[in-house]
Amino acid sequence: MSETPKTGNFITQIIDKDNETGKYAGNVMTRFPPEPNGYLHIGHAKSICLNFGIAERFDGQCNLRFDDTNPEKESLEYINSIKKDVEWLGFTWADEPKFASNYFDQLFEFAVQLIKLGKAYVCKLTPEEMREYRGTLKEPGKNSPYRDTSVEDNLALFTQMKEGEFADGAMVLRAKIDMASPNINMRDPIIYRIRHIHHHQTGDKWCVYPMYDFTHCLSDAMEDVTHSICTLEFQDHRPLYDWVLDTLNTAHPQQIEFARLNLNYTVTSKRKLKQLVDEGHVEGWDDPRMSTISGLRRRGYTARSIRNFCERIGVTRSDGIVDVSMLEHAIREDLDQNANRAMAVLNPIKVTLTNYPDEQEEIFTVNNHPKNADAGTRQVPFSKNLFIDAADFAEVPPKKWKRLTLGEAVRLRGGYVITCDEAIKNEEGDVVELLCRYDENTLGVNPEGYKPKGVIHWVSANHAITAEVRLYDRLFNEAAPDANHESKTFLDFINQESLLVLGNAKLEPSLETAAKGTGFQFEREGYFCRDLVSDTLTFNRTVTLRDSWAKIEAKR
C-alpha cells in the first residue's frame, strides 16, 4: 500500500502562520516526550506521527526526549523499547536522544532563580494539609503559612533539601503564584520534591527531583522547541507552562493541544497495559493482542499501516473514539496489496486421490500475488495425498455450499478439479479421511460437462510442513473496557477467545524459509505473519480477511 497523502491540520496552519510572520525564524522544532515507564502504545504512535511528521513537513527537527523525572517507575528496558519503536515507525530524531535528567543541574538553578525572584518557597505542609489548603473548583485556596519565608531561608532550605538533609516528603518547593486562581494548577504548584532514590541516568547524584510541569516547559525552552504539542488534558496546565517561562524570561515555545487517540475495544493507558503484563493476562508487553507498538509489530502490523492509520484519523481539538476496525482496515489493506499469498491448512483432514498414481508428484508454479506480477511465482508440490481444511467438507451441506461434499466437485486452488466419493469415519463417527478422484484434464482449464462448486485451498501431505498457528482476536469483547462499569473493571472484559492455538497446521513447504516477521495472506484464511520471537515455525494471525466484528456489532 502506498502512503496516504499527508493533509494539513489545525497545527500545521498555526505553523504556516508562524512561518509567515517569522516568529521562530522558520526553524520548526518539535519533540516527542515519553516517560520511560512502559512500552509505547498506538496512542503514542499518533503523537509520534504528528511530532515527527510536522518536523518533516517544515524541514525542521524533532527531539526524542525522555521525560524521566519519576525514577521509581522508569527503567532502561522501557527506554530501549521506546527508541526501537520510534525507529521502527520510520522516524529519526535529532542528534542523540535527550533526557530531562540531562537538565537536572540547570533545572535546579532555575528553581534557585525562582526563589531569588521571590517566586518559589519551601513548604512543610503535609500532603493532607496541602490538599485542604488547595481549595476546590468552587472555593479558592488558602495561603500556606510557609509562603512568606524569606528568600535567604528558602535558599538555605532548598540547598539542604538537595544535600539530603531531609527525609522524603518532609517538605517540597512550590511556585508562588496565586492560591485564589480559578485554575487549580496555578495554586502554588509543587515544583520539587525529595526522593532518596537511585535514578537510571543520574545514579545517586540527586535526592530532589523536579516535577513534570516545571521540567517540561524548561526542557522545551532549553532545546529551542518552537511548538510543544501535547494532548488536551494539558490545556489547563498551559498557564503554568507560560508562567514558568515568562517568570524566568527564557525562550518561549508555544504549547498546542490536540485530542488524544481513544480506540474502542482497546486500552491505551500504560498503567493498565502494565497491569495486563504483571498479572499474566497476556504474555508480555509484546503479546500480539496488546495495543503496544511492539505488540502490533509482533501481530504483523507494518509501520506503514500504522502511519497510514494515524494520517487518516486526523488531528483535531475535539475528543472522540476511533473504531478499532479502522486500524484493522489499515493493515488488511496494506497486506492485501503487499503480502504474498500462500496455502495453509489450519485444521487438516486427509484427502486421498484414489486415481492418482502412488509414486507420482507434480510441481505447480503459482503466482505469489494475484494482482502484482512483480511478486513472482513459487513452486507448490502436489501428490496423491493431500490435506484440506476440515471446514471445507460437509457430509450434509447447508444451502449454497461452495465447498466439498459427497458426489460433488471442487477445484483445488492452482491445481486440478476433484470429486468426492466417500468419507471414511472413525469409531466416534468423525470424518477422518476423504476418498476423491481427480480429473486429469482440468489443470488450468474448466472440466467438460460438469461444474465445480467452488475453489478450496490444500497442501500436499507428502510435502507439508507442520507449524503452530495462533489465531489472535481482539483482547476485549466490550467496546469501552475501561469506561465506568460499576463493579467491573477492564479485566472483566477480557475476550477469553482472544487466542486460539492450533498446533497441527499443515503449510505448503515454501513457508518453511519465511523470515521472521514476514506477512502472508493464507488463502481463504486471513493475514498471518511468521512470529518474530519463536524459534520454531509459528505464525500469528494478524487480521481476518473481512471484518467479522461488524456483524457482531450490527446484532447488538
Q: Contact residues for ligand ATP (CB under 6 A)?
A: 33-35, 43-44, 46-47, 230-231, 260-261, 268-270
| Closer to ligand ATP by Cβ: residue 107 or 261 | 261
Residue closer to ligand ATP (CB basis): 183 or 231: 231
**How many residues are listed for the chain in this entry?**
556
Alpha-carbon gap, residue 519 to 338, rounded angstroms: 9
230 binds, among Mg ion, ligand ATP, none (CB under 5 to 8 A by kind): ligand ATP
In order of 300, 362, 365, 426, 511, the CA distances from 381 in angstroms are 27, 6, 9, 29, 13
User: Given the complex with ligand ATP, which of 34 and 53 has the nearer CB atom?
Assistant: 34
- What is d(CA 99, CA 209) in angstroms, rounded to the nearest whole number? 13
Least Å distance, CB 49 to Mg ion, is 18
* Helix residue spans in 190-323 (DSSP H): 212-222, 238-248, 270-278, 293-299, 303-313
Separation of alpha carbons 225 and 455, rounded Å? 59
Find which of Mg ion, ligand ATP, none residue 269 binds, CB within 5 to 8 Å per kind: ligand ATP
231 binds, among ligand ATP, Mg ion, none (CB under 5 to 8 A by kind): ligand ATP
Least distance from ligand ATP to the Cβ atom of residue 40, Å = 8
* Residue 168 identity: D
* Distance in Å, CB of 35 to ligand ATP, minimum: 4
Q: Could you tell me the smallest distance in angstroms from the CB atom of residue 450 to ligand ATP?
A: 57
* Contact yes or no for 163/182 (Cβ under 8 A): no
Q: Which range of residues in 31-39, 82-90, 321-329, 440-448 is near Mg ion by CB under 5 A?
A: 31-39
CB 193 to ligand ATP: min, Å:
18
| Count of residues that bind Mg ion according to CB under 5 A | 1
Minimum Å distance from CB 153 to ligand ATP? 35
The residues assigned a catalytic role are 35, 260, 270
Tell me the C-alpha distance between 477 and 289, whole Å: 12
Q: Which residue stretch of 34-42, 71-79, 500-508, 532-540 sits at the interface with Mg ion (rule: CB under 5 A)? A: 34-42
Residue 19 or 269: which CB sits closer to ligand ATP? 269
The partner in contact with residue 154, picked from ligand ATP, Mg ion, none with C-beta cut-offs of 5 to 8 angstroms by kind, is: none
Instruction: Select the residue whose beta carbon is closest to ligand ATP and give its number.
Output: 43
Rounded to whole angstroms, the Cα distance separating 330 from 1 reads: 9
Q: How many CB atoms lie within 10 A of CB 486?
A: 4
Q: Which listed range, 28-36, 137-145, 315-323, 510-518, lies at the site for Mg ion (CB under 5 A)?
A: 28-36
User: Distance (Å, rounded) from C-alpha 159 to C-alpha 148?
Assistant: 18
Taking CB atoms, the residue at the shortest distance from Mg ion is 35
Compute the distance between CA of residue 376 and CA of residue 394 in angstroms, rounded to an integer. Answer: 35
Cβ closer to ligand ATP: 269 or 495?
A: 269
Q: What values do phi and psi take at 275, rounded to 5? A: -65, -40
Q: For ligand ATP, which is the closer residue by CB, 220 or 531?
A: 220
Paired sense of beta strands 465-472 and 499-507, if any: antiparallel
Phi, psi of 305 (to 5 degrees): -65, -35
* Nearest Cα to Cα of residue 174 among 144, 138, 136: 144
List residues near Mg ion by CB under 5 A.
35
